[in-house]
Amino acid sequence: MNLDSLFEIVDRLLIESHNRPLNSAENLVLRGIWQYKTYNQIAIEAGYSPGYFTNVVAPELFGRLSEVIGQRVTKKNCQVLLESYAIVEAAPNTKLLKQDLTQFPPTVNQDTSPCYPSGSVPLASPFYLKRSYLEEQIYQEIKKPGALVRIKAPREMGKTSLLLRILDYAKYQGYCTISLNLEQVEQTILSDLNQLLRWLCANIARQLQLQPMLDEYWHEDLGSKVSCTVYFQEYLLESINTPLILALDEVNHIFEHPQVAKDFLPLLRSWYEEAKRLPIWQKLRLLVVHSTDIYVPLELNQSPFNVGLPIQLDNFSQEEVQQLAQCYGLNWTDGEGARQLMAMVGGHPALVHLALYHLSRKEVTLSQLLETAPPASKIYSNHLQRHWATLQKQPELGQAFDNVLNANEAILLDPILTHKLSSMGLIKLSGGQAMASCELYRRFFTKKEQHLALQNQNMN
């Protein structure tokens, strides 16, 4: 449903209930929300005082909409609620459909019921916790000619969920958007620079609905990096009239092929630098997303990881955990539940989501989750076993983490081991010294180490 049709339905509902349609200021607020703008941006662009929409227009508008819809409408959920409600209103058998929706509780396929948290959070999901400051910062950055944004964090911190929203915002701006996940690329392609660059160019052409035309631009004498650059400049960028957002997700998979990484990553950087010299490269806006679990000693002055806008995703705060708990239907208004869960899992987004999901389904109580190891080990089994496997493959890293677990206070580690453990999210730093990032890790890995030590003792 397009925006004008949706607003017509909203107007009709407001006339029926309040005898007044949307006024011009309310119309501006709603259209601004669909364009991911702040109230201040909407006000300044329309010539109003900055606080007018925040303090006057939006509260009154959301109050009226809440009465019509029967649910509390906020800026965050406005788009999802209005679109869902408008679809019901526009249906041929509206009265019957409304009756059915009222008579039967929401099913697990509807947004209001939590699905098992795995992978990225869908765009329309109410269980996405918006990172307002970071998102606004990125939205402003990708509007700049030749921008490069690098998003990094350990696995399961919400990088791909954030990327979905950036691409959605870019589409609303009228930009071309290309999203490529390097996790989907075969190892034979990732291990060969020429094949990787041809794969990149062919996929971008396909998503732009262009003929690949690779052989017309690929010259052995020029080499694959120059051929790829010429292809971008003279074919891809010349074929479009709007900015192109190129999002590369799971770039860490290239790190497993150091020789390819040392050519591919500087190539991205060179395109970013070209935008300062040639206007055509200003059309390209790069989003580079990677997990920090894999450490590779790349040359900083040859990679894109010290240019552009750096974005580091951190753990949720206690206030954010409490906000998310409310989305899952948990009555944690006093903040104590959020505080206790934070003490256990340290605000790690995936661990918080898993806990709240199981708590909302009453499969485990908070006291069980906090006081006994088996429920936590079961809920977080995949996450914990993945880290355990990594530590077992790198004994020096495992020993360093064991030293952290056995210490009564933060300790100093070798810088590279500190970087690796921090990149995995297993430790947090205080004044350059390391401590376990959460109680869950302390309990699980201490018990694992004790069990392993006992096994070795029995074998001897």
- Report the alpha-carbon distance of residue 308 to residue 455 in Å, rounded: 50
- Report the alpha-carbon distance of residue 354 to residue 351 in Å, rounded: 5
pLDDT at position 256 is 84
Q: For residue 305, what pLDDT band results from cuts at 50, 70 and 90?
A: low
The answer to whether 139 and 169 are in contact (CB under 8 A) is yes
- Report the alpha-carbon distance of residue 201 to residue 416 in Å, rounded: 35
The answer to whether 400 and 323 are in contact (CB under 8 A) is no
pLDDT digits (tens, 9 = 90+) for 182-197: 999 999 999 999 999 9
pLDDT digits (tens, 9 = 90+) for 419-446: 889 888 999 988 889 999 998 998 888 8
Q: For residue 377, what pLDDT band results from cuts at 50, 70 and 90?
A: low
The answer to whether 386 and 427 are in contact (CB under 8 A) is no
- Report the alpha-carbon distance of residue 103 to residue 18 in Å, rounded: 26
pLDDT for 97 beyond 60: no
- Report the alpha-carbon distance of residue 225 to residue 67 in Å, rounded: 59
Q: For residue 102, what pLDDT band results from cuts at 50, 70 and 90?
A: very low
What residues contact residue 215 under an 8 Å CB cut-off, 6+ apart? none
pLDDT digits (tens, 9 = 90+) for 151-209: 999 889 999 999 999 999 999 889 999 999 999 999 999 999 999 999 999 999 999 99
Beta strand pairing status for 284-291 and 309-312? unpaired
- Report the alpha-carbon distance of residue 74 to residue 85 in Å, rounded: 14
pLDDT for 372 beyond 90: no
DSSP class of residue 426 equals S
Q: Can you read off the two tokens belonging to residue 379?
A: 């809920």
- Cα-Cα-Cα-Cα torsion 151, 321, 132, 246, nearest 10 degrees, comes to 30
pLDDT for 313 beyond 80: yes
The DSSP secondary structure of 62-99, one letter per residue, reads: HHHHHHHHSS---TTTHHHHHHHHHHHHHSTTHHHHHH
pLDDT for 306 beyond 60: yes
pLDDT digits (tens, 9 = 90+) for 249-280: 999 888 888 899 989 999 999 999 999 999 99
29-43, 313-327, 363-377: lowest mean pLDDT where?
A: 363-377
pLDDT for 333 beyond 90: no
Residue where the block lists tokens 């679809």:
87
Phi, psi of 148 (to 5 degrees): -135, 125
pLDDT digits (tens, 9 = 90+) for 233-252: 999 999 999 999 999 999 98
- Report the alpha-carbon distance of residue 368 to residue 214 in Å, rounded: 59
Residue where the block lists tokens 């192109």:
244
Three-state DSSP state, 411: strand
pLDDT at position 2 is 64
Phi, psi of 458 (to 5 degrees): -70, -35
Residue where the block lists tokens 């309990």:
443
| Mean pLDDT across 309-327 | 92
The sheet with strand 244-249 has its strands ordered as 176-181, 244-249, 284-291, 148-153, 309-312
| Mean pLDDT across 336-344 | 91
pLDDT at position 288 is 95
The answer to whether 223 and 193 are in contact (CB under 8 A) is no
The answer to whether 171 and 34 are in contact (CB under 8 A) is no
252, 249, 222, 250: which is closest to 234 by C-alpha?
222
- Report the alpha-carbon distance of residue 355 to residue 89 in Å, rounded: 36
The sign one gets for the Cα dihedral 407, 409, 414, 416 is positive
The answer to whether 291 and 252 are in contact (CB under 8 A) is yes
Q: What domains lie within the chain, and their CATH numbers?
A: 3-103 (no CATH), 132-312 (3.40.50.300), 318-379 (no CATH), 382-459 (no CATH)
pLDDT at position 98 is 40
pLDDT for 87 beyond 70: no
